[in-house]
Every structure is written in structure tokens, then in C-alpha cells.
Amino acid sequence: MATDTTSDTGNIPPNEPLYVNGEAELDDIVAENDVVLTDFYADWCGPCRMLEPIVENLAENTDATVAKVDVDANQQLAAAYGVRGVPTLVLFVGGEQVEQIVGVQGEEELRTLIESYTE
């Protein structure tokens, strides 16, 4: 009989980014998951497009839940988190914002950052 090893660790993070529409939706994701990497992006932003495959890999290969917020569609939400430029990555741990990174980052740096909170 197979045992469920995830039952005492909470929700299993999805292996693809969750697209957020509105502050309530982001609040729910942050409340329901231990570690959430939130990518504030814009479709017209070249660096955001460069970051997209990195963020998708992190969603698939780390214990973090990855959320994506389109700043054009969610201007108030972006403003609430002090997002002034895109891409901006905000890391939440245990419901609290612990990191904010502006600009394109390498996958290894982001993975190390996430793992520092998930291990």
C-alpha cells in the first residue's frame, strides 16, 4: 500500500505558475502555501519574457508555489506591493513577504533563494 508522504506538509505546490487576478486571489494563494514566489510581469516587457521559462522551471522543480501577476491588469495589486518596475519577484514565506527582487535573475540564484526557505 502506498503511503501519502505529503499529508503532513500541507498542500502540494502546483507544478506550473498560477495566474493571479486580484488581491484576494493572491492573498488566498499566499495563505494556503508555505512558500510563494510571485512574478509581477507585463506582456510587453522583454526582460519579463526572458524570465518566464525560469519561473516555469522553478514552479515545476522546487517546493515553492509560483504565482504570476500581470501588472497592467492588476495595477492596484502591483502598487500595494510597491512594484515600480517589471519584472519584480516577491517571495512570501508563511504568509509574510520576505524578499523583493527587481529585474531578471538567474535560475540558480532564485532556486537557492527558494531552497533557503523550503529546506
Residues with a known catalytic role: 45, 48
Query: Is the distance from CB of 66 to CB of 59 less than 8 angstroms?
Result: yes
Q: What angle do CA 16, 25, 92 make, to 5 degrees?
A: 70
Please compute Rg for the chain using Cα positions.
14
Q: What angle do CA 51, 94, 85 make, to 5 degrees?
A: 30
